[in-house]
Structure 1
Amino acid sequence: MMTTSDVGRSERASMLTIGRRPLAVRVRPGAGTGPPLVLMNGIGATMDVLDPFVDALDPAIEVVRFDAPGVGASPAPTVPQRYCSIARLLGAALDRLDYGRVDVLGISWGGGLAQQFAFQNPRRCRRLVLAATATGSLMVPGSPTVLAKMVTPRRHTDPDYARRIAGSLYGGSLRADTGPVPLNKSVDAIGRRSSRRGYAYQLLSAAGWTSLPFLPLIRQRTLILAGADDPIVPLVNAKIMARLLPDVRLEVNPDGHLGLIVRAEQLGDSVARFLGQP
């Protein structure tokens, strides 16, 4: 079952029912002929989180985004789903939308899902973009104080708290609010509703998961976008992934964990160039 409506910025919103699981999806039609780009968000973040990036991205690129189960308009499942199950759910949603080959971009938690999707769908996934992400449970972690702020969804429900911790949690230009996108706008982008159960289920979906064994088997051309000052995912993680992936380009920007939002124009251009390469 699928229900569709028009939303702002020339996008189409759909509520797909895959089996008995509803999934909120939004599509920005593209003017070009290349594969659509599927966006996978960070933990607890709704599809709106990447509005600045989508607005900056070449309009020729069709964009597909969704709320992960338990986030935003997608209800939480009855039990937690592993990355592999969510990747299958997304594949079924793309079938329903009549998409064949796609490009995939994942940020943070969504970067783990993007790696899993690329591994499970070697023919369907053409290109892979990984932003502010790592290899899962076997990674170089941020400091304990940073991780303590990550295990609670409070930053998604309390805007004042989110602004107070933004600099120390996300790093980069948000430490001094000097980025191209102001702190308030960046924090407001991630401060959209997420159920506590959905947030906990997302944490559990990645518990014990690691991409280290299969990264050398990912043959898709890959772009890694990493911030030089990312307290959540230290830069060394991007360098580890770059050593393991067979066909990869690593781009380091001077920002932090929210570089894709704070530097949407710059990184949007990087992504568009990468996807447009023959």
Structure 2
Amino acid sequence: MQYRTDYHVSLLADAPAVLTIGRWQLHYLAFSAHADDKRAPVLLLGGAFQSFRSFAAEAAELLSEHPVILLDLPSQGCNTQLAAELRLEDLADLIAAFVEEMQLPAVQPIGLSYGSALAALFAVRHPQHCARLLLAGITAFGRPGARRLLEESLELLDEGQLDAFAQGALTGLLNPLHSEATGVSPLFRKVLLRQLQRLGPTEIERYRQNSRRLLDFSGFAQHPQCPTLVLAGEHDHFTQPWEHAQFAAACAQADCALIHGADHLAQFERRAACAGLYAPFLRGAEQPLSSPGATRLSRGQLEHLERRQEVRHAPRQRRARLRHLSGAEWSVEMAELGFFGCLLHGDLPAELPARGWLLLADELPALPLLPLRRDHNGLACIFTHTDALASAALAEARHAQPLPTAACA
């Protein structure tokens, strides 16, 4: 590997180098203080639509101690090559092929969101190539509610409902209940919403392919054996803290830290808190029990973290109606109501359609929802948040008496 030694943030917008492996193109930029650096490089793997420019601060910080490689696999980041036939496991194997082709020593991946699944699978499948591993926004997608919302997003795209898709995706990525804590401004939300609303045909197809890979992934049969650090935004509803903690518990040598005042985009919302953890981790130092803006979980906490982030509320008016787009309608009682879901009681048919539902409740606009599961407790549903006005009204209605917590959707 020949590294560039002239790093400047403006270079992250340059055309990347391209390595062709079989039919596949891997885009990368590589920087270091020395052109022929033999030290273990940090390998940055971002979310599906994150560009190299997203890592401007991280690259500058890391280069003081490590070579840095930014890598976009097919359909990831700014690499527009479509690859519907590739599974997550295949993409992880492409990372290993990149390491081998470039004759790199064992690398230290930092995987964020979609990139976290790729980095973790790479560590499991090719342990000889992975020295240390840092993950944030774990996307294993074993939680039923997360899977249903991802499936619904694909249905909306197939129907051409780009505005509804964008509203739902935005609420998943940026938890609106904690926007003051995370510091996410209305302007940033608006800009991200517009980006999602303006996805072109190729970007939509990439989203489909990346989402289908996540949905088709059956889970981790094995977990990383190398030293691992897992970072979880305390308000992340998309990939929840307890999921990060359980993943860490299954690893051989893992620590998990909660990043205060952050949700799914912890690395960007709380840069200093994250850097205060990953910098010592990458140099092999022991993780502190606490650091500014973060708290490390003890091993005993990892498998016992609360699974419901949001306490459900008892609405003032429990009577409501559940309406299907076919026109059928049933009276229900809202046993629990929260921003992300609800629990309903009622004399409902044994078989319910999977989509096309609205909850009609006094003092609230019609709320689009999806049935999730049905048992002796009632019908658990999740809100899709595809209607911005309905979501805002629901957020305002969250101030009633809370109910005891229970398992999350």
Partner of 1:226: 232
Q: Find out whether 1:53 has 2:61 as its counterpart.
A: no
In the alignment, the residues of structure 2 paired with residue 106 and residue 51 of structure 1 have an alpha-carbon distance, to the nearest angstrom, of: 15
Q: Find out whether 1:202 has 2:202 as its counterpart.
A: no
Q: Find out whether 1:259 has 2:262 as its counterpart.
A: no
Superposition map of 1:148-227 within 5 A: 148=152, 166=170, 169-171=173-175, 175-176=179-180, 179=183, 195-215=203-223, 218-227=224-233
Q: CA deviation at 1:206?
A: 2.3
AA aligned opposite 1:17 = T
Judge conservation of contact 1:48–1:189 (CA < 8 Å) in 2. no
Q: Secondary structure at the match of 2:131?
A: strand
In the alignment, the residues of structure 1 paired with residue 130 and residue 143 of structure 2 have an alpha-carbon distance, to the nearest angstrom, of: 24
Indicate how the Cα distance of structure 1 residues 239 and 204 shifts in structure 2: closer, same or farther if over 3 A, else same.
Answer: same
| Percent of residue pairs identical | 20
Q: Secondary structure at the match of 2:216?
A: coil
Q: CA deviation at 1:199?
A: 1.8
Task: Give the alignment's TM-score, normalised by structure 2.
Answer: 0.55
In the alignment, the residues of structure 1 paired with residue 39 and residue 247 of structure 2 have an alpha-carbon distance, to the nearest angstrom, of: 26
Q: Secondary structure at the match of 2:56?
A: helix
Pick the structure with greater CA Rg: 2
Task: Give the alignment's TM-score, normalised by structure 1.
Answer: 0.78
Partner of 1:22: 25
Deviates more, 1:25-34 or 1:196-205: 25-34
Partner of 2:73: 68
Q: Which residues of structure 1 form unaligned runs of 5+?
A: none
- For residues 221-264 of structure 1, the C-alpha deviation after alignment (integer angstroms, 9 at most, x for no partner) is 11000011002011110121122112111110111000111112
In the alignment, the residues of structure 2 paired with residue 67 and residue 240 of structure 1 have an alpha-carbon distance, to the nearest angstrom, of: 28
Partner of 2:256: 250
Judge conservation of contact 2:17–2:27 (CA < 8 Å) in 1. yes
AA aligned opposite 2:73 = A
Indicate how the Cα distance of structure 1 residues 103 and 7 shifts in structure 2: closer, same or farther if over 3 A, else same.
Answer: closer
Indicate how the Cα distance of structure 1 residues 57 and 172 shifts in structure 2: closer, same or farther if over 3 A, else same.
Answer: farther
In the alignment, the residues of structure 1 paired with residue 108 and residue 132 of structure 2 have an alpha-carbon distance, to the nearest angstrom, of: 5
Question: Matched residue pairs, number?
Answer: 266
Indicate how the Cα distance of structure 1 residues 148 and 89 shifts in structure 2: closer, same or farther if over 3 A, else same.
Answer: same
Judge conservation of contact 1:69–1:77 (CA < 8 Å) in 2. yes
Superposition map of 1:61-140 within 5 A: 61-77=66-82, 79-134=84-139, 136-139=140-143
Q: Which residues of structure 2 form unaligned runs of 5+?
A: 286-409
Q: CA deviation at 1:189?
A: 8.7
Higher relative contact order (CA 8 A, sep 6+): 1
In the alignment, the residues of structure 2 paired with residue 38 and residue 213 of structure 1 have an alpha-carbon distance, to the nearest angstrom, of: 24
In the alignment, the residues of structure 2 paired with residue 65 and residue 109 of structure 1 have an alpha-carbon distance, to the nearest angstrom, of: 15
Indicate how the Cα distance of structure 1 residues 143 and 169 shifts in structure 2: closer, same or farther if over 3 A, else same.
Answer: farther
AA aligned opposite 1:23 = L
AA aligned opposite 2:27 = A
Aligned-CA RMSD value: 3.7
Q: CA deviation at 1:104?
A: 1.1
Question: Which structure shows the bigger proportion of residues in helix conformation?
Answer: 1
Indicate how the Cα distance of structure 1 residues 189 and 99 shifts in structure 2: closer, same or farther if over 3 A, else same.
Answer: farther
- For residues 105-125 of structure 1, the C-alpha deviation after alignment (integer angstroms, 9 at most, x for no partner) is 111111111111001111110
